Structure 1
């Protein structure tokens, strides 16, 4: 069952680019081969530490998202919240945990198929005493297709797997299908944030958004007015371990923001 509205997790805490236009040279081929019924890559890594394993048994069931065949209103997962946000593929959960702690009046859902990443976020929920986080241990597309229309205020897609080999590009999360899900779920004025350090994926994303707008009508407005806008981290950005690694290795992060029209 989905987490009960307003229920506090049961745990021991219950007593907290470069200056050129990055769209240049992008390709929009291959999306017809996309399959949202298959999770690519590993979903499990090293064995969980004893504390993590215990929290996955005791705390995780209270914050996990499950749904039936009908539409899911994400507000039903929380108590009284001002907004509902979603992070797609939250990795180790450091960004999501930071946002949840900084915005306690916002309900935040996170999707991550990798069990070890989920366990790390569950540990952060326990350590920080967070009551406004809900988790789907699966591909975000399973959730997006069930969400009620205009139910999200913000979506984060941060450093997604770039699938750099051309034959694997079709596995990228950004494609016409997922853009359609996001267009339906985001409220007018809602925000889609996409960050990456891979120029080809940045260009791919801008090209797909542009194509979606042409084919489906103006839906996503890219808010950048100058290169400094996509070179500058988002307000309140905590950084991530992956981002720090990319910078150490000489790659330049890009921060795109789109407003739902």
Structure 2
């Protein structure tokens, strides 16, 4: 959107412990190892703030204990034991290249000379197309958390945004599936007795595989392919999600049960 080209400032709070009803836990000791988290978990955690439209604040803390600014949002999505800030997130991450970016990584701009001027961080959710000129960003910015297709690397100060990968990210599958379904860790192609279901990790931002094509073609056959402007392909996109969501709603599902991400029950019904 044109309005997004002139982004509001994103002042942030300093590094701080998690907050909550139980008080302020002590910050973890220096050198503490980051907790493991999957890419799917990172994106799913980010989506919870998007859905809740968490208001932006550099001083307030959400019910999960994380500060409601851009770096607190990343700390939450990465399941960090404390609220980091743009000046410390790189200490729990590794610098990567643009070509290596995958869902759950971040694009970080820390203005060391004036941290309150321009510093910002967003979560990379996957490329929007094969040109790699735009991507889906999950970010905490005024007035509240959002998910928005964004030009690479960002709307402004683009050259100053650098890609990083959380040191604790793992390649495993998350335990939560689409349509309110629960999938065990490392669910296989025939998990839950659903023949051919490849697992949740095959679908979502950044996914690029034959299962996405198969899903899209079946949506077309079932009459839920109206969102495609061209034939379904192997790269997951918004047309796939909206098609799946339309199918889920046709089953009578609502809310989180119709989030557009196929779990085993969605797959079973779609291919039955």
Normalized against structure 1, the TM-score is what? Answer: 0.26
Higher relative helix content: 1
Q: Which has the higher contact order (CA 8 A, sep 6+)?
A: 1
The structure with the larger Rg is: 2
Task: Give me the TM-score of the superposition, normalised by structure 2.
Answer: 0.25
